[in-house]
Structure 1
Amino acid sequence: MSANLLLIGKSGAMAARAALDLTAQNIANAGNPDYARRTLSMAEVAAKGGITMQQDVGLSGVRPDRVLRSDSLFLHNEARRTSGDVARADAELAGLTNAETSIEQAGIYTAIVDFEASLSRLAADPLDGALRSAVVEGGDRLAQTFRIAGNGLDIAEADLRFNADAGVEQLNLLSGELARTNAGIARARPGSSNMAALFDQRDALLRDMAQLAGVRTQLDAMGRAAVSLDGQPLVTGVDSFALAVAANPDGTLGFTVGGTAVELDAGSLLGASQALRGIAELRTQLDGLTAQVINLANTAQANGIAPDGTQGQPFFSGSGASDIALALTGGNQIATAPAGSGVDSRNIGNLQALRDALAVNGPASSADTLLFNLSSAIGSRTITRDALRTIADSAGVALSAETGVDLDREATELLRYQQAFQANGRVIQAAADIFDTILGIGR
């Protein structure tokens, strides 16, 4: 009897200690987003009878059976889906915001207004050399602002492409790591701590992959993950397939898996592609605005004469924001008078025609429209991003409530298993007392 009590007490103490260790592990990982709460299931230890006991079964204590990991396939999928949507919106918004900053910091609208103001001052005295030099300086400054804006868009595009290349590389690394994790899951003993840790690693990898490319995931009976993009396998068992990226003619990004084109529906890589499309459209508008300024100024020059009686020369060279430059070499080349006027004419008819062309639905109005549309697009995308983030946060909270660590609950478990450990210690003590009493009877 005492021997059985000793075994029962020992097994109970060992099981309680294992449960205490697992509870302490939960508490240590309370703030770890990659950790799912563990619990320890117990099983009875049954000893079968010997020769004289036929096949009777006697209970001989308890043993730790399996490490159970809190999980929810639906909540994990929802958290991954919503986080991929937020990552897409964040990447697109960041790219467009950088483009807007480039345009605004260049000061295109201000430069256009200043150029128009210099023409208005020249109209007061069309032969004044200082006023003519001021117009030339204003034109040169305007050309510089367009080039600065174009360079800013180049930098924004380069940054997006660099991030996309880095994201593709990271996704491929994650795919390879997930394939290795699948191999580890296949070898691990079900219900072991190692298996639970591998499942944590699997879910963390899937979350990061979803944020990059909005992958689709399926789990087999063993818990191994199969990942696909647009129906093309990215990870299958212990095999992974590389994602590749290339630039499309329209400025967006094209993605392939194993040479097959795939369409992304979420993730930061898709957001980068969408931002590149927006910047390409913005560049087209900026080049159109630049061409408008070039055409208006050069047309006016061609229709007038300079103070020395020669026909006006082109004011600007180039065709877009990247190559616009001042073509005039001095203020004396500004054609303020209409064709047919005499030398040193104070007739400002041609200058006035240029001023009217600039004023009525001219570049300033176009620049204002460009900036307004860009600001409106960023504002609407910010609202969308914030709404998606709220949804993602809700999904994250739901997942955390299901799989995360609740310190109050763990404190209760600590007290429970500590008392169980002490109780089993008393069982062992009672067995020892009984054994000592039996030994004392024969004395």
Structure 2
Amino acid sequence: MPADLMQIGKSGTVAARSALDVTAQNIANANNEDYARRSVSLSEVTATGSVAFYSDSALSGVRVDQVRRMDSLFLQNQARRTGSDVARADAELSGLRNAEASVEQAGIYPAIVEFEASLSALRSDPLDGSLRAAVVENGRTLAETLRIADGALSLAGDQIRFEATSGVEQVNLASAELVRINTAIVRTRPGTSSHATLLDQRDAQLRQLSDTAGIAVSYQPSGVVNVQLGDASGPFLVQGTQAGILATTSNPDGTIAFALDGAPANPASGSLAGQAQALSAQRDIGTALDTLASQLMHQVNDAQASGVALDGSTGQPFFAGTGASDIAVVLPGGNGLATAPAGSPAVSRDTANIDALRSALANGGPASEADRILFELANAVSSRATTRDALGAIAETAQIALSRETAVDLDAEAANLVRYQRAFQASGRVIQVASDIFDTVLGLR
């Protein structure tokens, strides 16, 4: 009997100590978002025996059956999916805001207004050299603002492409790490602390993957995961102990394309998808700037060709270039401005030609085009910000639901500390009682 008590007490202390260790681990990781709460499952230890046709069993203590890890595959999938949508919206919004800043800070619209104002001032005295010089100088300023806007937009695109390249590297690193974790999970006994730790690492890598590139995850009974890019019909990024290689390339128009193991692939969400969308939007803005520059060059150069300069010669081109990136003033000086219509004599005060140019610029001209670009950009940024906020609220709700299921509750863990400490003390008392019984038996005469 005392020996049985000793065994029972020993098993109780071992089980209580294991439970205390798990509780302490929970408390230490209360603020670790990659950690899922653990609990200890205990079971009875029963000793059995038989003599002839008679058999008997007796309780012989308690043991740790398994370390349970709180988990919810549905809530985890929801949290990953909504988090991936937020990452996509954030990346796209960031790219649009950079594009908006590139156009606004360049000052295209004010430069157009100043150029048109200098033409109006020149109409009052077409022979004034300073007014003519002001038109040329404001033209140079306008051309420079267009080049600055195009250059800033190009730099913003370079930044996004750099971030996308970094994101692809992160995806490949996370995929390789998942393969390592899958291999370790197969070799680890379920229900142990080591197995639970591997599952924590697995879920952390899955969340990183989903934030970067939207994924679909399938689970095997052992805990091993398969990961597909996009949805369940997408190509495999991770399949057991095999990982694919994601790559990105830059297209001639500045956008990016993705390939998985050499085959075209399109992330449906995550920061990579948002960066691809932002680059597509920046490409369209760059096209609009080129259209604006071409319209400006066409209208001003046509007006020059239809009029005469101060010396009576046919007007020469004012601007040259192929778009916003290389537009420049090529007119040597203010005397070359063709203010008078064709056929007018030298030093003419006739402003019919400059009036025609002002009319062309005013009616759906560069100022209207610049205003349209800025308005559409502001509207796109505003709508994307609203979408991002809505997606953020949904993602936060999903994360809260997941935390309620898997996060550490410090109040509950404090109660567990007291409970398991009492259990440890009670088991120690059982050992003490068994020792006292031995001492009493040995003291009998």
Interval of TM-score (by shorter of Structure 1 and Structure 2) = over 0.9
Larger deviation, residues 256-265 vs 398-407: 256-265
Aligned to 1:196: 196
Secondary structure, in 3 states, of the residue corresponding to 1:47? strand
d(CA) in 2 for partners of 1:111 and 1:53? 107
Aligned to 2:173: 173
Per-residue Cα deviation, 1:167-200 (whole angstroms, up to 9, x for no partner): 1111011111100100000101111111000000
1:357 aligns with 2:357: no
Instruction: Single out whichever of 410-419 and 45-54 deviates more from structure 2.
Output: 45-54
Residue 258 in structure 1 maps to residue 255 in structure 2? no
1:271 equivalent to 2:274? Answer yes
* Deviation of 1:440 (Å): 2.3
Give the alignment of 1:242-321 within 5 angstroms. 242-248=245-251, 251-321=254-324
**What is the identity, as a one-letter code, of the residue corresponding to 1:196?**
A
* Residue 222 (structure 1) aligns with: 222
Counterpart for residue 424 of structure 1:
427
Question: What CA distance in whole angstroms lies between the structure 2 residues aligned with 1:418 and 1:53?
Answer: 43
Q: Aligned letter for 1:382?
A: A
Superimposed CA distance per residue, residues 304-352 of structure 1 (whole angstroms, 9 cap, x where no aligned partner): 1111111111110012100100111211111111111111111111111
1:13 maps to what in 2? Answer: 13
* 1:32 counterpart residue number: 32
Structure 2 gap ranges (5+):
none
Letter in 1 for 2:153: L
The corresponding residue for 2:108 is: 108
Provide, for residues 56-80 of structure 1, a one-character-per-residue CA deviation record: whole Å limited to 9, x for no partner: 2211111112110000010111111
CA RMSD of aligned residues (A): 1.4
- Amino acid in the other structure paired with 2:413: E
Aligned partners of 2:209 and 2:290: how far apart in 1?
37
Q: How do 1:30-429 and structure 2 match up within 5 A?
A: 30-49=30-49, 55-229=55-229, 230-248=233-251, 251-429=254-432
- CA distance, structure 2, for counterparts of residue 362 and residue 154 of structure 1: 25
Q: Matched residues in 2 for 1:247 and 1:372: separation? A: 28
1:330 corresponds to which letter in structure 2? G
Instruction: Report Cα offsets for 1:360-416 as digits up to 9, x if no partner.
Output: 222111111110011101111111111111111111111111011011111111111
Q: C-alpha displacement at 1:160, in angstroms?
A: 1.3
Match of 1:436 in 2: 439
Question: By how many angstroms is 1:137 displaced?
Answer: 0.9
CA–CA separation in structure 2 for the residues paired with 1:226 and 1:371: 45
Q: Distance in 2 between matches of 1:248 and 1:82?
A: 29
1:251 Cα offset (Å)? 4.3
SS state of the match for residue 33, structure 1? Answer: coil
SS at match of 1:340: coil
Could you say what secondary structure the match of 1:56 adopts?
A: strand
After TM superposition, give the deviation of residue 249 of structure 1 in Å: 5.5
Q: Tell me, in whole angstroms, the C-alpha distance in 1 between the residues paired with 2:342 and 2:141.
A: 28
Q: How far apart in 1 are the matches of 2:53 and 2:166?
A: 70
**Paired amino acid for 1:334:** L
Which deviates further from its counterpart, 328-337 or 144-153? 328-337
Moved more, 259-268 or 108-117: 259-268
Amino acid at match of 1:358: L
User: How many residues end up aligned between the 2 structures?
Assistant: 442
Kept in 2: contact 1:308–1:344 (CA 8 A): yes
Deviation at 1:274, TM superposition (A): 0.8
Give me the whole-angstrom Cα distance separating, in 2, the residues matched to 1:251 and 1:136: 33
Unaligned runs of 5+ in 1: none
